[in-house]
Structure 1
C-alpha cells in the first residue's frame, strides 16, 4: 500500500482549511452509513489506499472487493460507517485515487491479456511519464504489468541525451564500472546501435521508435551474432492499443507504454450515503 503520509497530502490540498460546506450544513456529531460502488466493469485498484484514508479519520471501512478483483457495474467495493463530515471530507480524494488506479489496472490487464494470447513471454511495462508514481506504479502491478523504473535511482537507463554527450561503448563501460548491482539498459534507434550495445555488455536493449519490421530485423541480427540470449529486448515508442499485437508477435521480452499513465481513462466509482448509523 502507498504510505498514508503520501495520501494525506491530497486531503490537505483538497481541504487546507477544512470542508466549509459540510461544516456549515452537517451537524457535527451525525453518524451515517455509506457505500462506494463501481459504475462500470473492470479491475478495481486503490481499495487499500481508500480504506487507509477513511480509517485515518476514524471511519470504519469494510472491504467488499479487494485490489485486483474483477468488478461489475453496481458492485459494492467498500462499506463505510462513521462521522458524516469526515466521510465527505475524504470522499473525493478516495474516489480520485480509486478511479485513477482502477483505470490503469483495467487497461494493463486488458493489454496484458491481448499480448499474452499472442506471445506468452512478453510483459507489459509502464514508464516514468507520470507525477503520481506511487499510485500509478502500484496500479500497474495490480493489473499484472511491470512497473519499470520507479525513479532515476533504480536502474541505469542510457538514453539519447546521454549518448549525445558520451559515445555508446564508453557509456556502457562507465555504467558497468559504476555498479555491479544495477541493471544497465540502453535506448537505441538503429540495428547498428543495438548490436553495439549488446556487444558492449548491456543487460537490456530498448528498441525505441522502431517499426515491427525493423525490430524483427534487429532481433535476427542479434541472433546471428549469438547475442540475442545475452540481452532482454524492450520495445517502446509509437505503440498503442491498436497496434500492440503487431509488436507482441515478435521475439521480444517487454513492451513499455507511457500511455498507461499519461493517458489513463478514469474508472467510474461513486460514494452514496445510504442512511444514518
Structure 2
C-alpha cells in the first residue's frame, strides 16, 4: 500500500507556496515530457512517480515496470499535461526514483553476490533508513530481490545489545516468551558462547553481530556439535558490504542483513526532458 499522504507531503516540502519560477516565466501550457534513465540497474519508484504527477494534474504513462532492469537512455515515463504541474513534480519524482532505484540496484547486485558465496542465504535490509522514507526504502529492497526485515519496533521481538546491558540473555528470552508464545524471538549475540546460551534458552533466531567469518564458522560448528543448529535461524550483520561479503563464503547462515543498502545508497541517475508544448491555455 503506497502512502499517498506521505507523497503529498514531499510535494508540499518542495513547494510550500507553489513554484515561483514557473509561475513567473512559463505560460499556462499543456506539454509533454519524458523521464530518461542515465544508469544501468533496477528501476523502482514508478508507481510513486505516477501518483506524484497525478497530484499535480499530470498523466504519467509507465514504459517500464518497477523491478525491471533498465539501461542508459531508456525512456521510463511518458508524461503529458500542464507544464506547470510537470515542473512542480519534477524534482520530487527524480529524487524518489533515484533513491529507490539506487537501493534496488544495490540490493540486486548484493543478492547475486550472497547467493554465489553463501548458497541459500538471502540479503535483507535493516531499520537504518532515512526518517520518513522507510516504506520506500524497504519497498526498494524488495524490488531488488531482498528481504525487508522488520519495518518497525512493533513488528517483532529482537533482543539487542542495549537490552542485554539491562537484562541477561536467559532472562530476556524467558520474559519475551512469557509475553507471547507465537512470536519469533530473535536475539543479538557477539560471541559463540553467547550464541550457545541463547540457543539453549530457546531463542528462535540468532543475530550474529559484528562477528568476523572465523567466529561465525566457529559458532555454526558449535551449534551443530550440540545439535542446536537445526533449532535456530541464523542471521549475520554488522558492517557487511559487497567488499567483505566474500570472506563469509560457506559459513552456513540463513540471512545477511546490511544497513549499507539504505544508509550508503548511490543515487540512480534519471533526468526529465521537456519535449513540446501541446497548446497554450488562454485565460
Same fold (TM over 0.5): yes
Please indicate the TM-score interval, normalised by the length of the shorter structure.
over 0.9
TM-score of the aligned structures, taking structure 2 as reference length = 0.95
2:16 alignment partner in structure 1:
16
**In structure 1, distance between residues paired with 2:179 and 2:249:** 33
Q: What's the secondary structure of 2:123's corresponding residue? A: strand
Q: Which stretch of structure 1 is more off in the superposition, 255-264 or 116-125?
A: 116-125
2:66 alignment partner in structure 1:
67
**In structure 1, distance between residues paired with 2:106 and 2:216:** 25
CA contact (8 A) 2:8 2:52 kept: yes
Q: Where in structure 1 are there 5+ consecutive unaligned residues?
A: none
Query: Which structure 2 residues correspond to residues 208-223 of structure 1 after superposition, within 5 A?
Result: 208-223=209-224
Task: Give the C-alpha shift of residue 3 in structure 1.
Answer: 1.5
Q: Which stretch of structure 1 is more off in the superposition, 170-179 or 115-124?
A: 115-124
1:227 alignment partner in structure 2:
228
Query: Which structure 2 residues correspond to residues 96-245 of structure 1 after superposition, within 5 A?
Result: 96-130=95-129, 131=131, 132-245=133-246
Task: Give the C-alpha shift of residue 119 in structure 1.
Answer: 2.8
1:26 aligns with 2:26: yes
Task: Give the C-alpha shift of residue 8 in structure 1.
Answer: 1.0
1:37 alignment partner in structure 2:
36
**In structure 1, distance between residues paired with 2:88 and 2:67:** 26
Q: Which stretch of structure 1 is more off in the superposition, 96-105 or 57-66?
A: 57-66
Task: Give the C-alpha shift of residue 90 in structure 1.
Answer: 0.5
**In structure 2, distance between residues paired with 1:251 and 1:155:** 24
**In structure 1, distance between residues paired with 2:245 and 2:99:** 22
Q: Which stretch of structure 1 is more off in the superposition, 71-80 or 238-247?
A: 238-247
**In structure 1, distance between residues paired with 2:212 and 2:204:** 22
1:275 aligns with 2:273: no
**In structure 2, distance between residues paired with 1:16 and 1:248:** 51
Q: Where in structure 2 are there 5+ consecutive unaligned residues?
A: 279-283
Task: Give the C-alpha shift of residue 248 in structure 1.
Answer: 4.4
Q: What's the secondary structure of 2:9's corresponding residue? A: helix
CA contact (8 A) 1:154 1:182 kept: no
Provide the aligned length of Structure 1 versus Structure 2. 276
Q: What's the secondary structure of 2:16's corresponding residue? A: coil
CA contact (8 A) 1:47 1:66 kept: yes
2:281 alignment partner in structure 1:
none
Q: What's the secondary structure of 1:23's corresponding residue? A: helix
Task: Give the C-alpha shift of residue 236 in structure 1.
Answer: 0.6
**In structure 2, distance between residues paired with 1:255 and 1:265:** 20
CA contact (8 A) 2:32 2:274 kept: yes
Task: Give the C-alpha shift of residue 241 in structure 1.
Answer: 1.1
CA contact (8 A) 1:122 1:248 kept: no
2:55 alignment partner in structure 1:
56
